[in-house]
Structure 1
Amino acid sequence: MRIADLHGRRVAVWGFGREGRAAIAALRKQLPSLPLTLYCSDSEIEAAKSFEAALEIVGAEPDANALRRFDIVVKSPGISAYKPALLEAQSHGVKITSGTALWFGEKPDERVVAVTGTKGKSTTSALIAHLARALGVRTALAGNIGMPMLELLDQQAELWVIELSSFQTGEAGSLALGVITSLYEEHLDWHGSRERYVTDKLRLADVSRALLVNALQSALVERTAGHSQRLLFGQVDGWHVADGWIHRGTRAIFQIERLAAPGAHNALNACAALAALEAIGLDALGAAHSLATFLPLPHRLQPLGDRDGWDWVNDSISTTPLATLAALESLHGRAVTVLVGGHDRGLDWSPFVDAMSVTPPHAIVCMGSNGARIESALRAAQVRCPVTRVDDLGAAVATAKIQTPADGVILLSPGAPSFDQFRDYAERGRRFAELGGFDGASITGIDGLGIS
């Protein structure tokens, strides 16, 4: 669907986050006289009036009857496609689209690499863009990583690197290359079940002329075996990690300790990025040295520095238990107190608990709405380290200061969303920095968003 197809139709926009605002702006630019109804939260009404005076604004979530007033609904990614009101409206002929779908409708012939995955998608996307730019390729970095694609609708790039969440993979158009970094359990509240989450993630394969997947994930390899142009990273005859180096086959290319982004998983993300460049015909070997100048993404295993004798690491972006395990692995050998817990969306914490039973950190502090559930599981497993439960992040940091020895690490890697206490992971990460004695306001956005 193109934006021009909305002319003369009854159109609603659902959601007034950055994606919703980008959709309104794009529609207004091409169809300035099109009547638009916005559904947003009651707290957003005044901001919406300031943003666009001509909007009809409803400060409430629409039900099916409200949605049936429209021909087309442009929804934001955070609104589940499986909401009963949306499904019922669709059954009555209402078309549901999104900023992602509209961008692909407007840009059907662009050279696009789209990246998804439970873990690693943001870093891999940023790495691909960074390395492509190092080769002199005019590259766009956008999507779920922090810049809606519609904000760049009128701009030109030789290569579009787009991060897609599981909410967006079913909305993508034709791709030169799809990249799937990993596949674990997440976002069950949006998708409704693990199998539906996996199915939605793998929709990326359906629109990708070539598909690059992680060879270390057997289930992912099996589920994508039928793709006619499937490529793998992480195996010994391609880009992989071994003996402290990133290799291309038998050739050692880049020493892992030179990566600013720590951890074996980030070395694997670098392999994914290099394999992606190679897959679209760019000089991956020539770009590899530029891994040394890549800036780690904020809130992703971000070293804040030393304060009061402890090293502080901000991994607030961690919203799954498996992401927390990866963070702990990157700090193996250190005395780590890890802060876990947040909004409870029903994820299975048993892999985390099992790992803590074998290789526990120095201490675990459980917090937030699922803190009690995590604590209970850890105690039932008789994990051999101090386990403490507190209500909120402030209390968690205070407890960590008491429990962590000198030269130890205080790690925020919650394994859960922030919505029980904060607006988003970035606000949580900045607050953690402030509680540690750092300037939270200095943690800015992701380097490299947009086109350059």
Structure 2
Amino acid sequence: MQSSSAGKEALEEFFCGTTILVWGLGREGTSFLQLASGWKDVSLVVTDRVEPDDARRTLFSRAQWLPEPEAVEQLDRFDWVVKSPGVCVRKFGLSHEACGKILSQCELLLRFSPGPVVGVTGTKGKSTTAALLYQMILRSGRSARVVGNFGTPPLEGFETLSIETFVVCELSSYQLEFMRASPHVAVWLNLFPEHLDYHGGFQEYQKAKARIALFQKPGDYLIYHGSDAGIQEALTRFPLSSQPIPFDLPDGRSLPESPFLQGRHNRLNIIAAARAAQLLGIETSAIFATIQDFQGLPHRLERVGVFDGITYYDDAISTVPQATLAALEAIRDTATLILGGQDRGIPYEDFARKLARSSVSTLLLLPPSGLRLAKVLSLIDPPFPGNILVVQTLEEAVEEAFRHTPKGKSCLFSPAAPSAPPFRNFEERGEAFKHLVRAMGSSANRLVGG
């Protein structure tokens, strides 16, 4: 493990005398440029899909701008490519040699952090688990940061890390795709089809996720959901050198119940975070107190309020059917379910059959994926026994929810699909849902309790 200053010095030394292409000017790309601008004997080149305006260019005055097509043609001139997670290189047909130059901030963090790094991944649940683990470490009185897919670029504030700082890094498949390093402690929650358009299929998605443990060594640890079929298949494809630590629901018997995190899936998140905390030497008292106090993250089964006797839940984070089914298991009195968003073409037959057997009496389906789901629902046998309404906007969906949900029951917004226009991400559509519910409820003086 590096000393406090040695990590920063080793990172700079690694890039000394090289030419670096920074691919992508999002938060990660910008933060890397800010860090690298103070390095000596480094040449920086920046590229992105859209050319930045003059105001943006002031952020990287030391770097040369190169349009993306030219940068792709000239990849052989660069020693390293520091790629932002949102840049999909598959569409450029890069050679194996070119892909070998790609680095992510997460890999650099793993290689050069002066303190311990714990990696957390999974198709769903990784943000909640990372936040839980982070809070457990803080509750113990130790220094900690949470970075990565959670929202903070991995190398933001890197120069302030010390040997005593625990870093919890949430890792998406985009960040793991080209990784050649794995954390000492890795947490793998689950695996089912997601982001298949980005990766080109489930096998490549699975391979990307497996990289959280693929480069672990003897003495490292992989904490994983032992009964998850996707993870089991991955571990068969990619045998590991680290110590496997499977977990499942019975392993949580000694842990307190959470008054805020509902459902089987959240119980598994709690167990995984507790296992990781124990490996890090975090005291049981800090682990238990965090489980009892942690109120969850926005847009993850977030209780919006009770209006006109109906309880509304924002679960906008759910972008796949498996996550929506887990939400229905947690909120057992759901009468109205709002679904739909971007259509990635995943099969809906099994999802439709499970909806038909659920407690839901009204489905409100948003385009474009909701249109295809409506067709699938019309073909299943036995059919869905309740109302199926195709709506055009989220506002219309909320209006229909107020109209169709019986008093004493719940309405759940759990789309089972990624965001579609006008929403750019799950945060935007979740905030829009909450605003609409509160506005419609308050306008009629229907608020009972938040």
Q: TM-score, normalised by structure 1?
A: 0.85
- In the other structure, the counterpart of 1:175 is 183
- In the other structure, the counterpart of 1:352 is 351
C-alpha distance in 1, partners of 2:76/2:172?
27
- In the other structure, the counterpart of 2:246 is 232
Q: Which amino acid is the alignment partner of residue 168 of structure 2?
A: V
- In the other structure, the counterpart of 2:192 is 184
Pick from 197, 204, 219 the counterpart of residue 196 of structure 1: 204
- In the other structure, the counterpart of 1:449 is none
CA 269–410 in structure 1, closer or farther in 2 if over 3 Å, else same: same
Contact kept, 8 Å, 1:123 with 1:297, in 2: the verdict is yes
Shift of 1:11: 2.9
Q: Deviations over 1:213-234 (max 9, x none)?
A: 1123244245436444101111
State yes or no: 1:343 paired with 2:342.
Answer: yes
Q: Secondary structure at the match of 2:213?
A: helix
- In the other structure, the counterpart of 2:412 is 411
CA 63–388 in structure 1, closer or farther in 2 if over 3 Å, else same: farther
C-alpha distance in 2, partners of 1:369/1:60?
31
Q: Secondary structure at the match of 1:137?
A: coil
State yes or no: 1:76 paired with 2:84.
Answer: yes
CA 15–406 in structure 1, closer or farther in 2 if over 3 Å, else same: same
- In the other structure, the counterpart of 1:319 is 319
Shift of 1:426: 0.8
C-alpha distance in 1, partners of 2:173/2:371?
28
Q: Deviations over 1:195-251 (max 9, x none)?
A: 111111111122331111112324424543644410111153xx23xxxxxx13xxx
State yes or no: 1:215 paired with 2:226.
Answer: yes
CA 359–122 in structure 1, closer or farther in 2 if over 3 Å, else same: same
State yes or no: 1:402 paired with 2:407.
Answer: no
C-alpha distance in 2, partners of 1:354/1:62?
49
Contact kept, 8 Å, 2:341 with 2:418, in 1: the verdict is yes
Shift of 1:172: 5.8
Q: Which amino acid is the alignment partner of residue 324 of structure 1?
A: T
CA 400–93 in structure 1, closer or farther in 2 if over 3 Å, else same: closer
Q: Which amino acid is the alignment partner of residue 57 of structure 2?
A: K
Moved more, 181-190 or 210-219: 210-219
Shift of 1:121: 0.9
- In the other structure, the counterpart of 2:168 is 161
Pick from 102, 110, 122 the counterpart of residue 108 of structure 2: 102
Contact kept, 8 Å, 2:299 with 2:427, in 1: the verdict is yes
Contact kept, 8 Å, 2:207 with 2:234, in 1: the verdict is no
Q: Which amino acid is the alignment partner of residue 235 of structure 2?
A: T
Q: Which amino acid is the alignment partner of residue 270 of structure 1?
A: I
C-alpha distance in 2, partners of 1:66/1:303?
51
C-alpha distance in 2, partners of 1:397/1:160?
40
Q: Share of identical aligned residues, percent?
A: 31
C-alpha distance in 1, partners of 2:284/2:12?
36
Q: Deviations over 1:69-113 (max 9, x none)?
A: 54432211112242324x14x546872222222323332x53121
Shift of 1:62: 5.9
- In the other structure, the counterpart of 2:26 is 17
C-alpha RMSD of the superposition: 2.6
In structure 2, stretches of 5+ residues that fail to align are: 1-9, 441-450
Shift of 1:55: 4.5
C-alpha distance in 1, partners of 2:55/2:82?
19
CA 151–172 in structure 1, closer or farther in 2 if over 3 Å, else same: farther
CA 294–363 in structure 1, closer or farther in 2 if over 3 Å, else same: same
C-alpha distance in 1, partners of 2:307/2:24?
40
- In the other structure, the counterpart of 2:277 is 277
CA 370–65 in structure 1, closer or farther in 2 if over 3 Å, else same: same
C-alpha distance in 2, partners of 1:431/1:93?
39
Q: Secondary structure at the match of 1:167?
A: helix
CA 145–231 in structure 1, closer or farther in 2 if over 3 Å, else same: same
Q: Deviations over 1:48-72 (max 9, x none)?
A: 2353345444576667325455443
CA 398–133 in structure 1, closer or farther in 2 if over 3 Å, else same: same
Contact kept, 8 Å, 1:224 with 1:230, in 2: the verdict is no
C-alpha distance in 2, partners of 1:92/1:265?
39
* Mapping for residues 424-435 of structure 1, pairs under 5 Å: 424-435=425-436
CA 275–148 in structure 1, closer or farther in 2 if over 3 Å, else same: same
C-alpha distance in 2, partners of 1:66/1:409?
56
Shift of 1:377: 1.1
Contact kept, 8 Å, 2:321 with 2:351, in 1: the verdict is yes
Pick from 12, 24, 34 the counterpart of residue 43 of structure 2: 34
CA 351–19 in structure 1, closer or farther in 2 if over 3 Å, else same: farther
C-alpha distance in 2, partners of 1:134/1:93?
41
Aligned length: 420
C-alpha distance in 2, partners of 1:419/1:147?
24
CA 378–401 in structure 1, closer or farther in 2 if over 3 Å, else same: same
Contact kept, 8 Å, 1:41 with 1:61, in 2: the verdict is no
Contact kept, 8 Å, 2:336 with 2:410, in 1: the verdict is yes
Shift of 1:337: 1.3
Q: Secondary structure at the match of 2:265?
A: helix
Q: Which amino acid is the alignment partner of residue 358 of structure 2?
A: T
Contact kept, 8 Å, 2:19 with 2:78, in 1: the verdict is yes
Moved more, 304-313 or 321-330: 304-313
Shift of 1:438: 5.6
Q: TM-score, normalised by structure 2?
A: 0.85
Shift of 1:355: 0.9
CA 276–97 in structure 1, closer or farther in 2 if over 3 Å, else same: same
Pick from 130, 133, 138 the counterpart of residue 125 of structure 1: 130
Contact kept, 8 Å, 2:117 with 2:167, in 1: the verdict is yes
Q: Deviations over 1:133-153 (max 9, x none)?
A: 212221111111111111131
- In the other structure, the counterpart of 2:305 is 305
Q: Deviations over 1:2-30 (max 9, x none)?
A: 44444444432222221121122122133
Contact kept, 8 Å, 2:340 with 2:367, in 1: the verdict is yes
